[in-house]
Amino acid sequence: MIVPVSRTDFTEKEFEAIKKPLESGWVVQGPYVKEFEDKWSAFTGAVNSIAVTSCTTAIQVSLHALGIKHGDEVIVPAFTWVATANAVECLGAKPVFCDIDIDTFNIDTAKAERLINAKTKAIVPVHLFGLPSDMDAVMALANSHNLKVVEDAACGFGSYYKGIHVGNFGDMGCFSFHPRKAITTGEGGMITTASGSMNSLLRSLRDHGSSVSDFQRHHGPKPYLLPDFPRLGYNFRMTDIQAAIGSAQMDRASSISDARKKIAAKYDEELKNTGWLKTPCKQYNSEHGYQSYVCMFNTEDNLSFDIDSMNLKRNNFMEYLQYNGISTRPGTHAVHILDYYAKKYDLKSDDFMNASIAYLCSVALPLYPNLTDDEFGYVVEKIKSYKL
Ligand SMILES: Cc1ncc(COP(=O)(O)O)c(C=O)c1O
């Protein structure tokens, strides 16, 4: 049996939906982007949703809109996808890495406080794998030091902190529609913000800095006149082809989210006695969205183990699963040890020890709504019969 780590799931509705912009001839940002944005706001409770080309560009343009520029420092967790740091770096600002809490995989806000100086302008908490960051602590820190907050909610679809969907706490929330995410448009991203002025600015920035969108101009009274461009901007527009797929998926958003949570609960139950594979952390005040189901491989009683030897054992376990047709992945990167960042900022693995441990010892198991019962049973059976 072959069980991939992730699998897309497009229904007949998405196949039908994609034809509509093609038939209309309007394929760039237009009515389907608006429809997708409206459904996103309805599901997440966001005041404004702005579709863009990816979560990476969402973070970049959000920080840009908040005035982050060359010379500024932005705190990011060291354990995250490289894009979180890249978005800061691409603006000429400095990503300042912060270690994570090894249980939640999210930023350790107590450690973040020690990194703040006069140059620190923003913090980007990541709701990693779908588990919300401690937003009370993040917002308290940001408010007391006058920092902007951009939530990296790439994995945050269906994730709630104290009953509120993530992406609604900071100045902006940024979501991803990459194929490993619960809602996918191939590539794509969404920004949520409660601020009316940020909403207008982000709509302009994603569209070359234009004063009106192409769709508004084409359907307005004077389509033959070009708009003004009062500011420097990007082309971060989502196409209507992508948005039509996203919009169709939003009609079954709750069932997609529930299905992921159900499979996660089944893994929790099946693996609760597999001591060497610690299942994802649960927190009383938040609801995990399970973009990924990331476990920690640890054959010792605590974390004071030899990391290299544990990493070797983790890799042997992954190799065994791969040999049996089951794909897994490390949770994500320890970004500070990726070549670019390690060299540029002279960083070492043990500068952010928990991030390094998480990178070297985590394992993401297959989880997606169309994982069949047979496939699930097969994965669990292979894990349980693994000889350490
Ligand atoms: C935590 C995190 N941030 C940012 C991104 C970037 O998202 P995108 O691929 O949509 O740019 C990802 C994608 O995997 C992610 O997991």
CA end-to-end span of the chain? 22
Q: Are 209 and 188 in contact (CB under 8 A)?
A: no
* d(CA 335, ligand 1 centre) in Å: 13
Q: What is the pLDDT of residue 252?
A: 97
* d(CA 177, ligand 1 centre) in Å: 9
Q: Give SS3 for 334.
A: strand
Q: Half-sphere exposure (CA, 13 Å, Cβ side) for 241?
A: 8
Exposure letters 165-174 (e unless 16+ CB within 10 A, then b): bbbbbbbbbb
Q: Which residues line ligand 1 (CB under 6 A)?
A: 54-56, 80-81, 83-84, 126, 152, 154-155, 176, 178, 189
Residues 147-179: tens digit of each pLDDT: 999 999 999 999 999 999 999 999 999 999 999
Q: Which atom of ligand 1 sits closest to the CA of residue 332?
A: 16
Pocket test for ligand 1, best of 52, 155, 177, 292 (most atoms within 8 A of CB): 155
Q: Which atom of ligand 1 sits closest to the CA of residue 59?
A: 4
* d(CA 153, ligand 1 centre) in Å: 8
Residues near 89 by beta carbon (within 8 Å), at least 6 away in sequence? 95
pTM of the model: 0.97
Pocket test for ligand 1, best of 56, 97, 100 (most atoms within 8 A of CB): 56
Average pLDDT, consecutive stretches of 10 residues, N- to C-terminus, the chain (388 residues): 96 97 97 98 98 98 98 98 98 98 97 98 98 98 98 98 98 98 97 98 97 89 91 98 98 98 98 95 95 94 80 97 98 98 97 97 97 98 96
* d(CA 154, ligand 1 centre) in Å: 5
Q: In what order do the strands lie in the sheet with 277-278?
A: 277-278, 293-297, 362-365
* d(CA 166, ligand 1 centre) in Å: 15
Q: What is the pLDDT of residue 303?
A: 62
DSSP secondary structure code for residue 224 in this structure: T
Amino acid (one-letter) located at 173: G
Closest CA relative to residue 321, chosen from 383, 388, 384: 383
Q: How far apart are CA 36 and CA 46, in angstroms?
A: 13
Q: What is the pLDDT of residue 305?
A: 72
| Residue nearest (by alpha carbon) to ligand 1 atom 7 | 55
Q: What is the pLDDT of residue 304?
A: 67
Residues 97-145: tens digit of each pLDDT: 999 999 999 999 999 999 999 999 999 999 999 999 999 999 999 999 9
* d(CA 150, ligand 1 centre) in Å: 14
Q: Are 362 and 297 in contact (CB under 8 A)?
A: yes
| Residue nearest (by alpha carbon) to ligand 1 atom 9 | 178
Beta strands in the chain (DSSP E): 48-52, 73-77, 94-98, 120-123, 148-152, 160-161, 164-165, 172-176, 189-193, 277-278, 286-287, 293-297, 362-365
Domains and their CATH numbers in the chain: 12-250 (3.40.640.10), 253-384 (3.90.1150.10)
How much is the CA Rg of the chain, to the nearest whole Å? 21
